[in-house]
Amino acid sequence: MKNKIGVYICMCGSNISDYVDVEKVKAVAEKIDGVHVAKTTMFACADSTQQEIENDIKEQNLDAIVVASCSPKLHLYTFRNVAIRGGINPYNYVQVNIREQGSWAHSNTPPLATEKAINLVKGGIERVKHSKELTPIKIPSVNAAAVIGAGIAGMRAALELAEMGTTVHLIEREHFVGGRTSQWNVLFTTNETGQEVITRLYHQINSHRKITLYTGTEIIEKKGSVGEFNLTLKIKPRYIKPDCKLDKEKLEKAIAVCPIEVDDDFNFNITKRKAIYKNFDSEFPEIPAIDSELCNKCGECVKICDDIDLNQLPEEKIISVGAIQLCTGFNPYEPTKGEFGYKEIDNVITLQQFKRLIELNGAKLIYNNKEIKNIAYIYCVGSRQIDGPNKYCSRYCCTSAIHTSVLVKKKYPHINNFHFNRGIRTYGKQEKLYHEASEAGDIFLQSFEEAPPQVEKTGNETIVKIKDILTANEELEVCADLVVLVTGMVPREYEGIVHLLKVPLGRDKFFNEVHPKLRPVETVIDGVMISGACQAPLNITESVKSALAAGSKVNSLISSGEIELEPTMAIVHNDRCNWCDECTNACPYNAISKVIVKGKELAEVSKALCKGCGMCLPVCPVNAIDLIGYTDIEMESMIEALVN
């Protein structure tokens, strides 16, 4: 039991000390048996305070420390490193959260905040008295990574990892790479087209010896854990011979005779495509694909081209990787029927449909056989709505809409753009686009959340009305030839990935990171990183930066061939365990399995998979499971300190 404990109570500027009497907390702490040093400090995380704690450990031979400050999510590793530098085991340190759980939670009742802080500190002291010296677990690692999603984030991540020496398996669910970026023409701020960017990245990937690209491929099974994930891939047939030299004329004839026609999701369903397809000439891989779910195998295309093989079957392949990086991207929000007239009024479309429409039109902008002159853009559709599905702001939509309006004005100078918004967010250098649109004569009309624009069909005319707060709530209306709904981002459908990898989702249904500032691309699943728009609404620049950050994390984790893991994990007392299977059902990480030792069925915990969540402990009917770092004696001593 530890009997020379140092206790440090942080004021956190005034975040804690405005509501918690830190001197009173210190006075109580210093009288507790085993406490050798008790101090208050303005900022415990400051370099000077860290040095002071380090000196106290060395000079006064402390064997454990307690820091009462903010959330351990912020500075757990800060003070663990202080302990190491001072010469004690980092797991003989306990951090007590008296900010979020004390001063902030009870700011309206400071005496109670102080009382709670005292109890929390007492509990922390009692716990650290029983703490053990723990050693991190080390496991071997394969220097290979799976990057899931070959959009711009995934492609850049794959290249970054490969350049750092990591073998990369780049896995794309669709038959073609590029994701959403391949659907856009001119990109804002760079004036490159999305297709040009994807073309450049594809050629770099295709020529890199450390990258293997899989298209039409999904992960159907995952075994193992960080250091060695064994992933089973299912590769859909392309029905085209891999070494074919299909020329454009043959392709066009083969597509023409295909009897199957469906909405073209590449053009957001404003056009049709056949079961055999290739979206544009520079799409990669360069050979076309046949949609296995649509093709009826009539054989008409085979009569024209013998490079088509309708007898191809799905393949399965197992790969071994040390870590996984998710770059699964986003979907544009799909408005519900009737939302601002969508799918009820024939000239109401989404921004993504409009962007493709511009590319498909020539000298005149035509929609529904009518030349377009007045365009009404309605912002925040499906976002920031009082009763809407998505409470968050996708951030990129304002810039995308304004950039599109600028391009439209340049291509079709006679067009009038009207922007119905709830406040424009063209942050950073993108503010220049807002200025350019204003200079070109675009009209910006603004309303509050509770009074969105109204879209009505009156005879042959579509009227958009708004109470414009920029003109003292005057009701204005525009007769629009085309209404463009500016929608935000929503997560792609990836239930399979969530089920296989156990990656948690946030309230917005995007993948959730450990901490947005301190661990922004890591998940609670060791060895699984997230990046790009699968994590949050991000533009291309932000997605690429996120992908590079996650790639660096992946490489630093697995490149040495050895991974160090937290020792906080469940352990089974074999003398008590009678194998009832309750713990395996409770474990969310599949970390517990049945083994037979000397003829007896027992539960066994995987060191690499266990996250130390403790879900298995309360369901064990014979109390055969303990949690290293949170043992029964540590927890019971804390409870006793809290109630006495």
Domain boundary among 490, 523, 538: 490
DSSP, collapsed to helix, strand or coil, labels residue 26 as: helix
Distance CA 273, CA 267 (A): 9
The span from the first CA to the last CA of the chain, in angstroms, equals: 20
Asked if pLDDT for residue 238 goes beyond 80, the answer is yes
Is residue 233 within 8 Å of residue 171, measured between CB atoms? Answer: yes
pLDDT tops 90 at residue 261? yes
pLDDT per position as a tens digit, 594-604: 999 989 999 99
> What gap in Å lies between CA 4 and CA 21, rounded to an integer?
24
If asked whether residues 202 and 320 sit together in one domain, one would say yes
Largest CA distance in the chain: 91
323 with 187, same domain: the answer is yes
In a domain, 411, yes or no: yes
Asked if 348 and 465 sit in the same domain, the reply is yes
What integer best gives the mean pLDDT of the chain? 93
The amino acid at 364 = K
Q: 């716990």: which residue's tokens?
A: 127
Tell whether the torsion through CA atoms of 119, 120, 125 and 130 is positive or negative. positive
Question: H or E stretch including 576?
Answer: none
Whether pLDDT at 152 is above 90 = yes
C-alpha to C-alpha distances, 397 to 211, 351, 380, nearest whole angstrom: 33, 9, 8
Write the burial class of residue 591 (CB in 10 Å: 0-12 exposed, 13-18 middle, 19+ buried): buried
What is d(CA 583, CA 598) in angstroms, rounded to the nearest whole number?
A: 21
pLDDT digit string, tens, across residues 514-567: 988 888 999 989 999 999 999 999 999 999 999 999 999 999 999 999 998 889
Task: Write out pLDDT tens, residues 414-449.
Answer: 999 999 999 999 998 899 999 999 999 999 999 988
Q: How deeply is 331 buried, as exposed, middle or buried, from its count of CB atoms within 10 A (0-12, 13-18, 19+)?
A: middle
Domain membership flag for residue 640: no
Q: For the domain that residue 59 is a member of, what is the CATH number?
A: 3.40.50
- The pLDDT value recorded for residue 389 is 78
Taking only the tens place, the pLDDT of each residue in 267-312 is 999 999 999 998 777 789 988 899 999 999 999 999 988 889 999 9
Is 320:232 a contact under the CB 8 Å cutoff? no
Tokens of 206: 């295709």
For residue 116, being part of any structural domain is answered with: yes
| Contacts (Cβ under 8 Å, ≥6 apart) of 603 | 572, 577, 579, 583, 584, 592, 593, 594, 595, 624, 625
Residue whose entry in the numeric block shows the structure tokens 């398996």 = 169
For residue 331, what are the contacts with CB-CB under 8 A and spacing of at least 6? 489, 490, 491, 492, 493
**Are 81 and 219 contained in the same domain?**
no
Examine the domain organization and report whether 102 and 216 are in the same domain: no
Give the mean pLDDT of 606-620.
Answer: 91
Residue 637 located in a structural domain: no
Q: Tell me the per-residue pLDDT of 366-417, one tens digit each, with 9 for 90 and over.
A: 999 999 999 999 999 988 877 767 889 999 999 999 999 999 999 999 999 9
Boundary residue ending a domain (106, 129, 152) = 129
Tokens at 71, concatenated: 């959330």
| 434 and 544 together in one domain | no
Same domain, 478 and 501: no
What is the pLDDT, as a whole number, of residue 387?
73
Structural domain span for residue 30:
5-129
380: Cα within 13 Å, side-chain hemisphere: 23
What integer pLDDT is reported at residue 490 of this predicted model? 94
Query: Rounded mean pLDDT of 75-94?
Result: 95
Q: In CATH, what number is assigned to the domain containing residue 610?
A: 3.30.70.20
pLDDT confidence of residue 643: 83
DSSP structure string for 144-171: EEEEE--SHHHHHHHHHHHHTT-EEEEE
* Residue of 568, 567, 578, 569 lying closest to 624 (CA atoms): 578
Confirm whether 548 is domain-assigned. yes
Give the confidence band of 111 by pLDDT, cuts at 50, 70, 90.
very high
Residues 556 and 580 reside in one and the same domain: no
pLDDT by residue (tens digit) across 492-518? 887 788 889 989 999 899 999 998 888
Residue 352 burial by CB count (10 A; 0-12/13-18/19+): exposed, middle or buried? buried
E strand or H helix at 285: none
- 538/585 Cα distance (integer angstroms): 37
Tell me the C-alpha distance between 435 and 33, whole Å.
67
Q: Is the pLDDT of residue 619 over 80?
A: yes
* 572 DSSP β-pair partners: 625
Confidence bin at 17 (pLDDT 50/70/90): very high
Domain membership of residue 321 (yes or no) is: yes
Encoded tokens for 638? 């804390």
Helix (H, G, I), strand (E, B) or coil at 598: coil
State the Cα–Cα distance between residues 483 and 461, nearest whole angstrom: 11
pLDDT at 287: 86
Q: Are residues 618 and 590 in the same domain?
A: yes
Q: Report the distance separating Cα 235 and Cα 232, nearest Å.
A: 10
pLDDT value, residue 563: 92
pLDDT greater than 80 at residue 189? no
C-alpha distances in Å from residue 563, one per residue of 84, 264, 322, 442, 530: 19, 45, 9, 56, 19
Residues 524 and 601 in one domain: no
Residues sharing a CB contact under 8 Å with residue 407, sequence separation 6 or more, in sequence order = 185, 186, 358
% of the chain exceeding 70 in pLDDT = 99
pTM: 0.86
Average pLDDT rounded to a whole number, residues 217-239: 95
Cβ atoms of 219 and 496 closer than 8 Å: yes
Partners of residue 72 on adjacent β-strands: none
Alpha-carbon distance of 423 to 292, in angstroms, equals 45
395/426 Cα distance (integer angstroms): 8
Asked whether residue 247 carries a pLDDT value surpassing 80, the answer given is no
In a domain, 15, yes or no: yes
Query: Peptide bond before 285: cis, by omega within 30 degrees of 0?
Result: yes
* Residue 541, domain CATH: 3.50.50.60
- In the three-class reduction of DSSP (H, G, I as helix; E, B as strand; rest coil), residue 64 is classed as strand
62 lies in some domain: yes
| CA distance linking residue 302 with residue 186, whole number of Å | 37
Regarding whether 509 and 445 lie in a shared domain, the answer is no
Domain identity same for 532 and 616: no
Residue that has been written with the tokens 């918690």 in this structure? 20
Average pLDDT for 483-491: 96
Domain count, the chain: 5
Among 529, 545, 562, identify where a domain stops.
562
pLDDT in tens, 33-48: 999 999 999 999 999 9
